[in-house]
Amino acid sequence: MKYIEVDEQLYRYIASRTITIGESASDILRRELNLPLKKEIEQETPATISQPGLEVADSAVAETAADSVEAVTSVADSSDSVAPVTPADSVASVESEHSDETATGELQSSGAAPRSVADYNHLTSDSNVEQMKGAVGRFLYLLEQVHNSDSELFSKVLDVQGKGRLYFATSKEALLASSKTANPKQIGSSGYWVTTNNNTARKQAILRDVLQHLNCEETLAKSIAQRI
């Protein structure tokens, strides 16, 4: 068998005419030239022989393999960026959701949700306020009405305190122990006592803080407190 050199363009043409994988250049040229195909005689061949049909197949296989490797690498990179989910994580997630639902349910059932403005709105027009004697009378009357509006949450008034002194307590003695000049007064029949030896501005500030502790809207709380 003779071997010839061909340029790149001719080689690509011959390769493009390959019909079956492993087809030799001789077979391709015989078919293209309409020559009868001969069985090749076995003989020693040079170290490298160009086989267009094989190279086309090898190229296709190499490209497919490269695409597969790239796809696997991409999946591996993606998996590295996502933390594996362990059974413990799943349990923690479920417990967290259950805790959130429980907390929400407790908040709704306890009645601690913010009140609507209408709950205390009547205090802005209560005509009885003007009938009370002096700022102390109006202060005590408004506190009593606030207690009547929500006696369950009224205990929050104990959180309203001054610097180093109490404003509210459940006994007269507790207020006097905090300040001998507190002049404690009982808030109606609520069972709570309040110090009254503050000026009008301080009484207004105390009532405003009380209302806000009971989830009253800030603007409404200020409006009610100004009635003292």
Please count the CA atoms within 13 angstroms of the CA of 134 that sit on its side-chain side. 7
Exposure letters 125-137 (e unless 16+ CB within 10 A, then b): eeeebeebeebbe
Distance (Å, whole) CA 52 – CA 11: 8
How many angstroms separate the Cα of 17 from the Cα of each of 4, 51, 181? 18, 12, 113
Mean pLDDT calculated for residue range 202-221 = 95
> Of 227, 204, 207, which Cα lies nearest the Cα of 216?
207
Residues 6+ apart with CB under 8 A from 57: 21, 22
Residue 35 predicted with pLDDT over 60 = yes
Tokens of 124: 């802005």
Q: Which three-class secondary structure state does DSSP give residue 194?
A: strand
pLDDT for the residue 8? 85
Residue 165 predicted with pLDDT over 60 = yes
Tell me the pTM: 0.49
pLDDT for the residue 104? 40
Name the residue ranges covered by the structural domains of the chain: 8-39+46-78, 118-225
Taking 3-state DSSP, the helix, strand and coil percentages for the chain, each rounded to the nearest 5, stand at 60, 5, 35
Distance (Å, whole) CA 51 – CA 21: 10
Helices (H), 24-166: 25-32, 52-81, 87-110, 118-121, 134-149
Q: What is the CA radius of gyration of the chain?
A: 47
Question: What's the CATH fold of domain 118-225?
Answer: Replication modulator SeqA, C-terminal DNA-binding domain (1.20.1380)
Residue 117 predicted with pLDDT over 80 = no
What pLDDT digit, counting tens, does each position of 71-108 carry? Answer: 444 444 544 444 554 545 544 444 444 444 444 444 34
